[in-house]
Structure 1
């Protein structure tokens, strides 16, 4: 129980720290609506479980110790974030719904959430180095790893729903064409900055 309480505290601090996941959920909730934002959040959660599985079955350790594996995943993740960011910067949505200047393009935000997490090696390194600290000696690595990831996912889901709910009172304001374009371009720039940070980052 002491280990779980300590992990909940640490995972909550990690979740509340602004990052790529927060930017993705906020942007999707504001422009695409709460339904798409929930899908993005679910995708992020699946990405967490994928990394949890990698840690539980030893793949996370390979990412943590292999410079080549880390670099390959790092540059793939940076390229993906660049692609997302450039799309938002160069082809921003002009509105929400039929009133928008462009027709609604149904994008798979669930998949984008999954890829955003799965292609970020820092999540894998973090899980590989962080989770074992809270697993009691002699306990099942697989059971405890998935249990701790599930706790992290619950905390992350609560935070995502809070962010999504916070955008609802601003719904009318967020439907303004200039606001939508500004949010798209701002988020695109944020994604490009995250891509550069990831590409030039070290362990």
Structure 2
């Protein structure tokens, strides 16, 4: 029976896996936040933020399995609330990054962003990201059949979550390589300003999405 089940959902499995990889590697707010925390607060902060993104995926999995994905897809108000909350958070983080440019240098040398704070920034960035919501709406309203067992849907969720964890952990590890950090340290203030502007830019883009 198990073999039959796996064979039955093989097409869905492949589709979800491909979409999961694309979701993870496509440039966006998650990537900008992981970059910010990795460069400004070092490796542990980047990895904890990656874990936060991965865990936040389960928020989207939860409302999708509960059937709320269909409601959101057909409710402009619900989607608008998600959109503006995500936009406001990114703009806030971008402004905070720019405004704290003169204090981050001392902070980063001591690694002042604790694991919980790093986790929360990653979690909130993904949980409030309407782009991720759109991906899940497409997956659970077009790819995954309503008759798909909850257990199989949870497997799909695990695939998406793991894809994000692996990708963003890799990004954090790459950006915090000692040789790269030495180069980044020479242009720290410029990088802080650029990252802040990018986060604000993503926030504005999200706010204007669909307007």
Band the TM-score falls in, shorter-chain normalisation: 0.7 to 0.9
Equivalent residues, number: 196
Tell me if structure 2 keeps the 8 A contact 1:135–1:144.
no
Which residue in the other structure is 1:192 paired with?
200
Contact 2:45/2:113 (8 A) holds in 1:
no
Gaps of 5+ in 1: none
Q: Which 10-residue stretch deviates more, 180-189 or 124-133?
A: 124-133
1:1-203 residue pairs with structure 2 within 5 A? 1-92=10-101, 93-95=104-106, 96-98=108-110, 104=112, 106=114, 108-135=117-144, 138-140=147-149, 142-167=150-175, 168=177, 169-176=179-186, 179-202=187-210
Higher mean C-alpha displacement, 180-189 vs 8-17: 8-17
Contact 2:53-2:126 at 8 Å conserved across structures:
yes
What is the TM-score normalised by the length of structure 2?
Answer: 0.83
Residue 175 of structure 1 and its aligned partner are, at CA, apart by: 3.2
Q: What is the CA distance between 1:151 and its match in structure 2?
A: 0.6
User: Against the structure 1 CA distance between its residues 68 and 52, is the aligned structure 2 distance closer, same or farther, given a 3 Å change threshold?
Assistant: same
What's the Cα RMSD here? 2.2
For residues 58 and 6 of structure 1, the distance between their equivalents in structure 2, rounded to whole angstroms, comes to 20
Deviation at 1:57, TM superposition (A): 0.5
Distance 1:105 1:41, change over 3 A: closer
Could you tell me which runs of 5 or more consecutive residues in structure 2 were left unpaired when the two chains were aligned: 1-9
How far apart are residue 4 of structure 1 and its match? 1.4
Q: CA deviation at 1:105?
A: 5.4
TM-score, reference length from structure 1: 0.86
The farther-off stretch of 57-66 and 189-198 is 57-66
Task: Verify the 8 A CA contact 1:4 1:134 in the aligned structure 2.
Answer: no
Q: Which has the higher helix share?
A: 2
| Cα distance change of structure 1 residues 68 and 31 upon mapping to structure 2, 3 Å threshold | same
CA distance in 2 between counterparts of 1:91 and 1:125 reads 32
